Structure 1
Amino acid sequence: MKKLSLLLILALTLVSCNDDDGENIDFGFAEITGEDLPEYFELTEEYEINVTYELPDACHTFYGFTGSNFEDEDDETIYVYEIVANTSYNPNETECEEEDTDLSETKTLDEDFKLPAAFSYETVRFKFLTGVSSSNEAEFMTVDVPVGAPDDEDEDEDEDEDSGDDTDDDSSDESSN
């Protein structure tokens, strides 16, 4: 009987000590609403990448970016970066000062983003988490950035078309004379 009493007292003591008035922290995500990516990547260059996101409410604070990177399953010429803007918040906090709070913020994802010298992919696909659908599927804003400067051939074709137009204009001018 003494052992049972001792166990009950010990259990009550543990339960009363477990009543923690400290702050609970949970994590969520912010909707990514914008990005600042270059027109194309060159292997030898470094890039600063900025991301704009909107916090769910004033109780949330930015925690950091997380993500993963992998080769696209359907196209081996595409390398994918999935990016999530994480938030932290206290779920017990119900009143947050939202009146003067701007929930949209821009942070630097990477100050010196650089592709490896041996990078063999033609496209870098960024997938920024924007939310979750009603069927609990992740929704992304997708941005494809080509690797390497635009082809000079495209510029040459544009110049040829421009010079061809000039020739046609000149010949029509001559025939009207």
Structure 2
Amino acid sequence: MDHDGTTPDSSWKSRNCLSPGEYATSWSLTKTANTQVLFRRVFMWTIILVRVVQTILIVSYNTFVSKVSSIVFGILFGILSFLLIFWCLTTIDRAQGRRRVCGLAISRLHLDLFVASCAFIHLILLAGFWTFLGHISFNVVWFILWASITLYGFICTKAPREA
């Protein structure tokens, strides 16, 4: 039984279509079971907040150098990206057990290390926005992070395999 009350045999919908209360539980910093969960959730908050700041910076940058259509597209993409990353991080937080992908077993430890590394890369990317990264490099790394978080989120929708 997972910490979210689902079994490995439960349906995809019961594992992934969550109520607002279940989402709130996955993002709560006050009701954490242990320090590992607390660190994971701090890293999740870091990722989501830094991505919001980065989206605002990208849209602001486009305000000065681009057309209105780019700004509108940036805002819409930012909102959709926020919702997708929020859902994927929640799915990663709730995942328990091992999942097999292409012969590799992904465990809770792998997921925690992935979330922590993504948080640090997001912070480096935010610092690089003003200092050492060009606009294209920033966008490429930002998209790679988006794609990798999405990939891990969808991997976590699979039912865990019994050890």
Q: TM-score, normalised by structure 1?
A: 0.20
User: Which protein has greater RCO, CA pairs closer than 8 Å, 6+ apart?
Assistant: 2
Q: Give the number of the structure whose residues are more often strand, by fraction.
A: 1
Q: Which has the higher helix share?
A: 2
